Structure 1
């Protein structure tokens, strides 16, 4: 029987729940996954509905709206459920419309000052309750899922609500980053009229607070995360953020599946954002020069600096401790003194790192180029225009930028952690000799270790034949979602075959 078919010979039905999905609304990797994975599953034959909060920004972009009905959320509130369509998705979108919670401008999780919206517990608990009610077809649409697939803390309570319902569908909970768990206090728990039995060590109580993350872990039929290495790492005190013991206890239902990337969006041969399109058969040195020049011009470089052929090390990401941006900032001055390399950095985050980058840019205006903020076109231009991509993360559940870098022939320099360890083959003498090397991997989360790896990359780049081999090895890797989507279908099938506890 095909993995996308049920015993009744109809397509496998999946209700995929997330708090963001590109291009409708995105703050990080979850948004990319919630766009690409459902589409890949649809291509393989699954029958899906993608359920999202009806944020104002989302409602502006969707079309063909149809009201499916209203859900009584059991706490005196209700949610209007709207079906909609968008060209980026192959399946219907189900939007949970609770105006007082989601009809606001800005970031879906934080206010304009960067603080969590104070009503986040209400917003995402009610969203999770609505998802569970859709999972048992409370609206009698005639479509009932076999699997409800929830993602991160914002949908952690979905499985707990399903646990309260008779004949509920099976559930999968995906951890994209266990460091963010959405905790709130007991007074809020009571105000949300949640079942008292959830406030227990065997439920979702976590050190005197309620943890939506723990709700997902405890009540889901299976748990997965976004790389095999991260699945192992979160069972350790260093990376488990207090959940290591719980995950060790639940390891029988925990696994890791690597993310893919949307190779239609991230394709150097057809990317509309870059100056010169290319593939592995192109003159990679010349197209890199053209794209490097366009990148530096976009970042404000003077014409002479932009046209120089000295290499560029790039970074795109959040300017936070996790991403190791402090390590890169510390390494830059010495590398500038010792080499001809320039740095191109695109990102936003903690003000202290933004300020330090601005200071570096002012001190080294011909060597350090920055854009504080996020720009999708600039992210593409950097992948095509940088010679080397730096990703010194202290931890990285999967990571997407190293995959984009491989796809664009921009060898990444990464720390050996999470999905970075699973996706980048270090340029050891043996790997270079057999052609399997795709980048550079270092171990210690220190600026000297990062600088040493970057110097190794710069030395390797001086050998044009070896460098081209390294670039093409990354560009030719299968990085799309098909393989990962097939593994999710296998996991769904396993869940359906599991005996209920």
Structure 2
């Protein structure tokens, strides 16, 4: 298949969250399955063209894109996605939409008044580039609200005499898939946004595909118009159909329920693997865990905490925001302080959470260490040196740190939601069914008391070394590689193509 993969951020060029990781890895796995994959993203001024081998595309040349009352000049640069080890390039082409007026702002997302225009231009430019390449994709794979109007642009039936991508032969047999990475971000703008994009007003009026409480939502547009919709875990897909988790989009997802799927994100084991990880001092494997204990000793000593192999080290690696569940942690801090455990926290975000953890480290320097910010090497070291990782999220579309932790023999303690529910099997829940297949600990109720009980249970089990080793090995044997996810996306591509051919879109 020919697959156009479109995202607002792609690692290593730009990344603010999980979308960047996915967009930097999934296209390469799709290519390994025999697909012709091209990636498209904006050219931000966050990285150097020279460092990543970008080349101006003379054959494409300049492109003029109208938005509202202005014409913007767009140019295109191309490179090849680097392999995960960074030593060579893959065969996957990546095209950068270069328009300094919109993208040279030193941030991926700006909240500027013209944020809608930035991604209107991106969406229309991608379609123009595909036209000029004379490359007819079988699938256009859109990601999050930033690309939500693309399916509408190629299906928009214009008023008489107006230009429309739906009349372009290159898109005649192109099916669309729309992936929601986080439902909370919806691309909601002023009601005149579709006018700026030159989209037929009928899609806004009278509850049209893009209208959302008198405004325009790019996310709703993608949901209503794409051939297939998916999100990044099976449980999160089920949750999004409910008012509790759907963030107002659940009525529209329920309308498209038959075309809505969950596909768990994968991880890149070339990067996250304790056997080969170059960012940790001691490599180890499921056959020999001695290196993990050495990493714990190294980590604790460098943090100024006393090493004791019988005292568990609990890690937190996270964005420090409401979604991650730190309010319920705060509820039971007095009890947590009394637990016989060491803690290491790495993250940044909302000031109240940064101050909460910084204060903990200051007031209890023998138990807590906090690094406010982000450091990739430190994240790897925590995964390798900690005994447990805590993720008490309010909701979690997929989550990656719990998957990294499983591979590193670092036992996850998670709230049972979204991708956390799909990847972490509660030890005692499995044991009650007569199965010793658990890989961690989970709690259902979003409360401090439920979190505290899971922590106490995990700490108690930690002292049973045979049991603990069993849980570690269960996790380390799990395979959440991107290959499996890519195969599932291929199934969705086939469904999207079939739906288009059946005339259902």
TM-score of the two chains, using structure 1 as the length reference: 0.91
Structure 2 partner of 1:9: none
Structure 2 partner of 1:291: 295
User: How does 1:51-200 map onto structure 2 within 5 Å?
Assistant: 51-60=40-49, 61-67=51-57, 68-75=60-67, 76-88=71-83, 90=90, 91-105=92-106, 107-110=107-110, 116-134=111-129, 137-139=130-132, 141-164=133-156, 165-166=166-167, 167=169, 168=171, 169-200=174-205
* Residues 1:38 and 2:33 are matched in the alignment: no
Structure 2 partner of 1:317: 318
For residues 299 and 143 of structure 2, the distance between their equivalents in structure 1, rounded to whole angstroms, comes to 35
- Compute the displacement of 1:342 (Å): 1.2
Q: Is the 8 A contact 1:65 1:85 kept in 2?
A: no
For residues 331 and 388 of structure 1, the distance between their equivalents in structure 2, rounded to whole angstroms, comes to 18
For residues 86 and 418 of structure 1, the distance between their equivalents in structure 2, rounded to whole angstroms, comes to 29
Residue aligned with 1:95, SS: strand
Number of positions where the alignment pairs a residue of Structure 1 with one of Structure 2: 475
Q: Is the 8 A contact 2:187 2:219 kept in 1?
A: yes
Q: Summarize deviations over 1:51-71 as a string: whole Å, max 9, x none.
A: 111011244442051313333
For residues 226 and 485 of structure 2, the distance between their equivalents in structure 1, rounded to whole angstroms, comes to 21
Structure 2 partner of 1:246: 252
Residue aligned with 1:294, SS: helix
Q: Is the 8 A contact 2:324 2:391 kept in 1?
A: yes
Picking from 233, 255, 272, the partner of 2:239 is 233
Q: Structure 1's 328 and 318: CA in aligned 2 closer, same or farther, altered over 3 A? A: same
- Of stretches 385-394 and 83-92 in structure 1, the one that deviates more from structure 2 is 83-92
* Residues 1:220 and 2:212 are matched in the alignment: no
Q: Is the 8 A contact 2:283 2:292 kept in 1?
A: no
For residues 397 and 144 of structure 2, the distance between their equivalents in structure 1, rounded to whole angstroms, comes to 12
Q: Structure 1's 340 and 449: CA in aligned 2 closer, same or farther, altered over 3 A? A: same
- Compute the displacement of 1:172 (Å): 0.3
- Compute the displacement of 1:155 (Å): 1.0
Name structure 1 gaps, 5 residues minimum.
1-11, 111-115
- Of stretches 185-194 and 437-446 in structure 1, the one that deviates more from structure 2 is 185-194
Name structure 2 gaps, 5 residues minimum.
84-88, 157-165
TM-score of the two chains, using structure 2 as the length reference: 0.90
Q: Structure 1's 308 and 472: CA in aligned 2 closer, same or farther, altered over 3 A? A: closer
* Residues 1:271 and 2:277 are matched in the alignment: yes
For residues 311 and 108 of structure 1, the distance between their equivalents in structure 2, rounded to whole angstroms, comes to 38
Cα RMSD of the aligned pairs, angstroms, is 1.8
Structure 2 partner of 1:49: 38
- Of stretches 340-349 and 158-167 in structure 1, the one that deviates more from structure 2 is 158-167
Residue aligned with 1:25, SS: coil
- Compute the displacement of 1:309 (Å): 5.1
- Compute the displacement of 1:308 (Å): 6.6
For residues 239 and 200 of structure 2, the distance between their equivalents in structure 1, rounded to whole angstroms, comes to 32
For residues 200 and 455 of structure 2, the distance between their equivalents in structure 1, rounded to whole angstroms, comes to 53
- Compute the displacement of 1:287 (Å): 2.5
Runs of 4+ deviating beyond 6 Å: none
- Compute the displacement of 1:434 (Å): 3.0
Q: Is the 8 A contact 2:284 2:292 kept in 1?
A: no
